[in-house]
């Protein structure tokens, strides 16, 4: 029998192979570290929906008390997530959505707003006139369709900006590069590429440099990931023009999960805000995120020292007991 605050949470991640998702997991673990007896079982489906369905079945069988899930694609994952919910296992959906209302809470960025903000920004950037290509993520994953819808709506009232092609980059750098290599030669007068995530934005910049090295086609990405390999650094270095912040929601998801488990109040919809990061604010944002990273490293070092001290204490306590019986 489980007692008190002894919880097991299953976390089914659609893919764990990129920095953004590592940051999400780190955030979750940092938050859960405040709860002593909570265990997180992590499964990475490597962008395969069938594998992710299997993972969730396994987690349900192993007796988790709550499921956190970022569904690779909405439709294929919906039935198994509904099944968890109907079994009475609370479900916290993060970042990507299912196609059903049967979940306990959602935590993630406002993807429609991301697309809309980028559309408005692109219009201002190009002075109301120009040609753009959009590179989307997996079309059946909700951030891809929501970002696309937001972009289309923003451009509907800005007819000077023409979306000349929409490519399917599946969220992956190499796939985005291949698609762009095929399409880009047809648009020598292209002004801008909107890539729906940071890795595809990086890929887009590389292909532009290959095919039109003499032109400076602007690239806008999404994610706003801090650190050496993130897209904040890419904006800072001038490789891309801008990126739309898309917080991972790792900490928030863990917090909502714990509230649900501990029968505390929580909200069903937890939408995280977006903002454009470009040359006008990137210095400040980079300073702050660099500081945040160094503080997190300090906390980890302190934790390691506390663990060491505890270990020494327990050894000495044991010795004292052997010697004196106290």
- Residues contributing to the site for ligand FRU (CB under 6 A): 15, 18, 20-21, 95-96, 137, 141, 143, 171, 197-198, 222-223, 246
**According to the 3-state scheme, what is the secondary structure of the chain?**
CCCCCCEEEEEEECCCCCHHHHHHHHHHHHHHCCCCCEEEEEEECCCCHHHHHHHHHHHHHCCCCEEEEECCCHHHHHHHHHHHHHCCCCEEEECCCCCCCCCCEEEEECHHHHHHHHHHHHHHHCCCCEEEEEEECCCCCHHHHHHHHHHHHHHHCCCCEEEEEEEECCCCHHHHHHHHHHHHHHCCCCCEEEECCHHHHHHHHHHHHHHCCCCCCEEEEEECCCCCCCHHHHHHCCCCCEEEECCCCHHHHHHHHHHHHCCCCCCCEEEECCCEEECCCHHHHHHHHHHHHHHHHHHHHHHHHHHHHHHHHHHHHHHHHHHHCC
Q: Which residue number places its CB atom closest to ligand FRU?
A: 197
Q: How far apart are CA 27 and CA 6, in angstroms?
A: 20
Nearer to ligand FRU, 198 or 251 (CB): 198
Nearer to ligand FRU, 55 or 96 (CB): 96
Nearer to ligand FRU, 18 or 120 (CB): 18
Q: Please report how close the Cβ of residue 54 comes to ligand FRU at its closest, in angstroms.
A: 20
Q: Please report how close the Cβ of residue 137 comes to ligand FRU at its closest, in angstroms.
A: 6
Q: Please report how close the Cβ of residue 171 comes to ligand FRU at its closest, in angstroms.
A: 4
Nearer to ligand FRU, 19 or 31 (CB): 19
Nearer to ligand FRU, 38 or 243 (CB): 243
- By CB atoms closer than 10 A (0-12, 13-18, 19+), residue 27 is buried
Q: Please report how close the Cβ of residue 122 comes to ligand FRU at its closest, in angstroms.
A: 18
Nearer to ligand FRU, 194 or 246 (CB): 246
Nearer to ligand FRU, 256 or 258 (CB): 256
Nearer to ligand FRU, 76 or 164 (CB): 76
CA dihedral 175, 161, 232, 195 (to 10 degrees): -10
Q: Please report how close the Cβ of residue 194 comes to ligand FRU at its closest, in angstroms.
A: 13
Q: Please report how close the Cβ of residue 22 comes to ligand FRU at its closest, in angstroms.
A: 10
Q: Please report how close the Cβ of residue 200 comes to ligand FRU at its closest, in angstroms.
A: 8
Q: How far apart are CA 96 and CA 8, in angstroms?
A: 22
Q: Please report how close the Cβ of residue 249 comes to ligand FRU at its closest, in angstroms.
A: 11
């Amino acid at each position: 029998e489980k007692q008190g605050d002894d919880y097991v949470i299953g976390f089914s991640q659609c893919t764990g192979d990129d920095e953004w998702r590592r940051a999400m997991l780190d955030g979750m673990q940092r938050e859960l570290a405040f709860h002593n007896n909570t265990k997180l079982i992590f499964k990475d489906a490597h962008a395969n929906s069938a594998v992710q369905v299997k993972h969730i079945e396994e987690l349900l069988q192993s007796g988790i008390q709550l499921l956190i899930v970022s569904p690779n694609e909405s439709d294929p994952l919906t039935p198994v997530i509904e099944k968890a919910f109907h079994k009475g296992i609370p479900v916290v959906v993060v970042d990507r959505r299912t196609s059903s209302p049967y979940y306990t809470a959602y935590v993630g960025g406002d993807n429609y707003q991301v697309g809309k903000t980028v559309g408005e920004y692109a219009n201002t950037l190009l002075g109301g006139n120009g040609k753009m290509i959009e590179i989307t993520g997996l079309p059946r994953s909700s951030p891809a369709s929501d970002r696309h819808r937001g972009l289309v709506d923003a451009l509907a009232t800005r007819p000077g900006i023409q979306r000349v092609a929409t490519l399917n980059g599946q969220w992956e750098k190499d796939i985005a590069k291949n698609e762009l290599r095929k399409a880009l030669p047809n648009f020598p007068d292209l002004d801008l590429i909107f890539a729906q995530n940071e890795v595809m934005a990086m890929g887009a910049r590389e292909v532009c440099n290959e095919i039109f090295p003499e032109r400076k086609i602007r690239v806008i990405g999404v994610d706003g990931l801090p650190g050496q390999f993130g897209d904040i650094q890419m904006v800072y270095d001038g490789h891309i023009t801008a990126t739309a912040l898309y917080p991972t929601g790792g900490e928030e998801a863990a917090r909502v999960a714990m509230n649900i488990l501990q029968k505390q109040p929580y909200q069903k919809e937890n939408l995280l805000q977006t903002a454009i990061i470009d040359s006008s604010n990137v210095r400040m944002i980079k300073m702050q995120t660099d500081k945040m990273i160094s503080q997190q490293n300090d906390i980890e070092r302190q934790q390691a020292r506390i663990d060491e001290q505890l270990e020494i204490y327990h050894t000495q306590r044991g010795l004292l007991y052997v010697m004196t019986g106290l």
